[in-house]
Amino acid sequence: MADRMNKEQRHRCMSHIKGRDTKPELLVRRYLWRHGFRYRLYDKRLPGKPDIIMRKWKTVIFVNGCFWHGHECDKFRLPKSNTQFWRNKIDTNRNRDRLNNCKLRLLGFRVITIWECELSKARREKTLEALSFTLSQIVLKENNATLYDMEEIDQPMAAEEPVGYNPQTD
């Protein structure tokens, strides 16, 4: 099937597709901020220019669109026109993603990828809760704490007995 737009119209249409500050990305960023996680955005010095960078915990988050990164879900469908071009484009994106993830891990970063389909209304809450849990575990690990240690902190302290007090002799 031939493209219904001429080259200039197609260029104008494609140039309006955002690569940053997308709706799924903003959802994740708002959630993180509300839950006390602070971050930076789009560090060009890191491989793949991650969407969200949490240097304190050596963690990066990519919020990927299902179409552009070839996620095998309901949202991804290879276009019927110019199929070979799109197959090559998406395969190149996937390979670049894998390479960048490897480079980031070699630099000591943890890599989290959140897919656009995981942020649909039906799945959003579970996805964000899982992200929060994962980040909480990372924070605990970095602080050399465990969930058990955190529970101890929340317990009221027992009343201390005076130094030198021996209940059997006094």
Domains of the chain, by residue range, sit at 9-145
Give residue 60's pLDDT band: very low, low, confident or very high (50, 70, 90): very high
Q: In whole angstroms, what is the distance from residue 85 CA to residue 87 CA? A: 6
Q: Of 3.40.640.10, 3.40.50.720, 3.40.960.10, 2.40.10.10, which CATH number belongs to 9-145?
A: 3.40.960.10
pLDDT for 163 beyond 50: no
Name the pairing type of β-strands 40-41 and 59-64: unpaired
Contact 52, 60 (CB under 8 A): yes
What pLDDT shows up at residue 15? 67
pLDDT of residue 90: 92
Measured distance CA(144)–CA(160) in Å, rounded: 26
CA 78 to chain centre: 25
Q: How far is CA 2 from the centre of its chain?
A: 38
pLDDT band at 3 (very low <50, low <70, confident <90, very high): low
Once rounded to an integer, what is the mean pLDDT over residues 94-106? Answer: 94
